[in-house]
């Protein structure tokens, strides 16, 4: 399993539109040896960084994408924070809405954020991706 495969899975699941599509992708990834999870998020960016990281860790545990070890939880938290830092220049001070995707395969964990950013219907789109090896 390569880090590229896991990163691609995280991005794909973060970009799903419906729960049905998400479930189909999760099953497809599982057949490839990749466990994945996703969680929706929306709110003001700068006040919600910690909440996004926490939701990523909780979703990864709930969906059994990771086990309960500190190393795996820390890897998800670190990768989520890295992904958020990548979208920060566009999102600071604005509202975001979208999805966080988490994927784990082999020694690799990737977290992707796919957000619409802005006010009303004047949205910008941003993607961030973080990776950790465990």
Give the CATH number of the domain where residue 29 resides: 3.40.1510.10
Strands 35-44 and 122-133: unpaired
Our count of domains for the chain comes to 1
Predicted model pTM: 0.94
127: which DSSP letter?
A: E
Separation between Cα atoms, residue 82 and residue 64, nearest integer Å? 22
> Is residue 5 a contact partner of residue 34, using CB atoms and an 8 Å limit?
yes
Q: Which domain holds residue 77?
A: 3-133
Q: What is the pLDDT of residues 7-58, one digit of tens each?
A: 999 999 999 999 999 999 999 999 999 999 999 998 999 898 999 999 999 9
């Amino acid at each position: 399993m390569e880090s590229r495969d896991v990163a691609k899975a995280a991005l794909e699941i973060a970009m799903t539109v419906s729960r049905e599509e998400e479930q189909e992708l999760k099953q497809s990834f599982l057949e490839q040896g990749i466990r994945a999870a996703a969680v929706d998020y929306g709110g003001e960016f700068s006040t919600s960084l910690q909440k996004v990281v926490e939701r990523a860790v909780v979703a990864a545990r709930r969906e059994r994408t990771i086990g309960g070890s500190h190393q795996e939880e820390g890897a998800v938290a670190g990768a989520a924070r890295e992904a958020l830092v990548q979208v920060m220049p566009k999102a600071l001070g604005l509202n975001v809405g979208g999805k966080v995707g988490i994927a784990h395969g082999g020694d690799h964990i990737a977290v992707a954020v796919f957000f619409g950013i802005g006010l009303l219907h004047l949205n910008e789109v941003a993607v961030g991706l973080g990776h950790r090896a465990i």
